Structures are given as C-alpha cells and as structure tokens.
Amino acid sequence: MALAADDLHLWRVSLDIPVATAGRLPQVLSSDEKSRAAAFHFDIDRNRFVVARGCLRIILGLYLKTDPAEIRFIYAAHGKPSIVSPLTPALDFNVAHSGGLLLCAITNGCEVGVDLEAIRADFPADQIAARFFSASEVARLRSLPVSEQITGFFNCWTRKEAFLKAKGTGLSLTLDQFDVTLAPDEPAVLLRTEWDSHEANRWVFKSIDLGADFAAALAFEGHDRTLHYWDLEESRIAYLLAR
C-alpha cells in the first residue's frame, strides 16, 4: 500500500468473519496477544479480539511490506501503541472497534485518533453526559430535539475519545476539559480546550458516516488530509493469510 504525505487511510473491517478464516488469524499474533485472547470469558469477545488484532497486523503489514507476525508494538505511558520499526518511523495509526466493526486509521507524520461506538437507543445519554461532558455541551445536547439527543451524545463521545486517543494522554485529561460540536447537522470540530486557547486551531476532526447504527470520528493534528476509505474483506484476509 502506498501512503502519500497528505493521505489518511481509513480501513473498515467486520470482526464477525467465518470461522475458517478467523481460526487462522492466531498464527500472526504475538504470544502476549494470544494470552490476552485466552483471558476473555465469552467466545464472541475472544474471537473479535483475535480478528481485531490479526487484521490490524495484516493492514500494517501491507504498508510495511512485512510479515504481519513480525510486527512489534511498543506502548506509551497511557497505552497508545506504535510500531517498533526503524524503517518507517513516521507511520502513525490508531484503531477502534465496537459492535462487531473495526476502524483503523493510517497516516504519516501526525498524531491520529479514531473512535467508534455502536449506537444504543436505550443508553442513558443524559445521565452520562451530565457526569462527563462540559456544562456547555450538556446544555447544547439538551437543547436538541429528543429524537436527536442519542445521536448527539454519541457524536460528542466519539469526537472526544478520538481526540484523547490522538493525544495519547489517557485519563490525565478529562472529557469536560474541552468542547466539541455534537449536533447531527454540525461538522465535527474541536471548539476549545481549557489548557490552551490555540489548541483547537491545531486539530482537524472528521465525522465518519457508517449508517444509523454507529457513530465514529477521526482527530488528527495539523492541516487537513485527503481521506481514502478501504474495506478489508474476509476474502482478502484469507488470501493474505495464505501467501
């Protein structure tokens, strides 16, 4: 795969693939990843973890032109992964999965974060927003028509999580320390941060349309980039594993 300097590639992967293919993915996992998979109590969670990690390795292997099993990860203080590879020091990536779907963002030379959430109509959005969002975000959420509030909540949540994942700060920054847009008809934007009046100008946000069942967002540092969308289909996973 070729990645131009101003490109950002977003991969979509279904985690619920046929057993015949999913059962071959452990061959590309590290011993640590296999141990983590074995710790899951439910089969569906274990299988989705294996597919998520295996497909992440396959995707990265396409860019690194290497065997997915040979890729090694290191983790920053708050858990953000990066690749141990002196050949591609500027390759940046982030991954998210929810409800049987995975998104993987790949770019070059900037921090990037992606978040994805399956939308639940019965989710206690108002209670969670009051606990975690800023006062102005809670007010804007409550001002929306009731029919739009669930979508508004998940828009807000995924944009915030994508930003925190891009920065790699973990819980050292709380969700109420910065504001994002959330209304269904608004573009994704970082509005302000408490710690730096210029921070919002340094980031680009993108809302990702995955249909009515999901909310998803990208956050990346610097100028706008050209987005390219890719699907890693089960047939291609099987082909790449067989090579």
Residues 52 and 88 grouped into a single domain = yes
pLDDT digits (tens, 9 = 90+) for 178-218: 999 999 999 999 999 999 999 999 999 999 999 999 999 99
Q: Is residue 43 part of a domain?
A: yes
- Global pTM reads 0.95
Q: Is residue 152 part of a domain?
A: yes
Residues 152 and 136 grouped into a single domain = yes
Q: Is residue 146 part of a domain?
A: yes
Residues 25 and 80 grouped into a single domain = yes
Q: Is residue 99 part of a domain?
A: yes
> pLDDT grade, residue 84 (50/70/90)?
confident
Domain ranges, residue 155:
116-217
Rounded to an integer, what distance in angstroms lies between the CA atom of residue 98 and that of residue 48?
A: 10
Q: What's the pLDDT score for residue 90?
A: 66
Q: Is residue 85 part of a domain?
A: yes
Instruction: List 103's β-bridge partners, or say none.
Output: 12, 96
pLDDT digits (tens, 9 = 90+) for 131-169: 999 999 999 999 999 999 999 999 999 999 999 999 998
Residue 89 has pLDDT above 60, yes or no: no
Residues 230 and 211 grouped into a single domain = no
Residues 86 and 18 grouped into a single domain = yes
Rounded to an integer, what distance in angstroms lies between the CA atom of residue 184 and that of residue 104?
A: 23
Residues 123 and 78 grouped into a single domain = no
Residues 11 and 100 grouped into a single domain = yes
Domain count, the chain: 2
Helix (H) or strand (E) holding 9: strand 7-14
What angle is formed at CA 175 by the lines to CA 90 and CA 141, rounded to 5 degrees? Answer: 120
Unique residue bearing structure tokens 């899951």: 40
Task: Answer whether 101's CB lies under 8 Å from 210's CB.
Answer: yes
The CATH number of residue 212's host domain is: 3.90.470
Residues 148 and 233 grouped into a single domain = no
Residues 75 and 131 grouped into a single domain = no
Residues 131 and 46 grouped into a single domain = no
Q: Is residue 1 part of a domain?
A: no
Task: Answer whether 150's CB lies under 8 Å from 119's CB.
Answer: yes
Q: Is residue 141 part of a domain?
A: yes
Residues 13 and 103 grouped into a single domain = yes
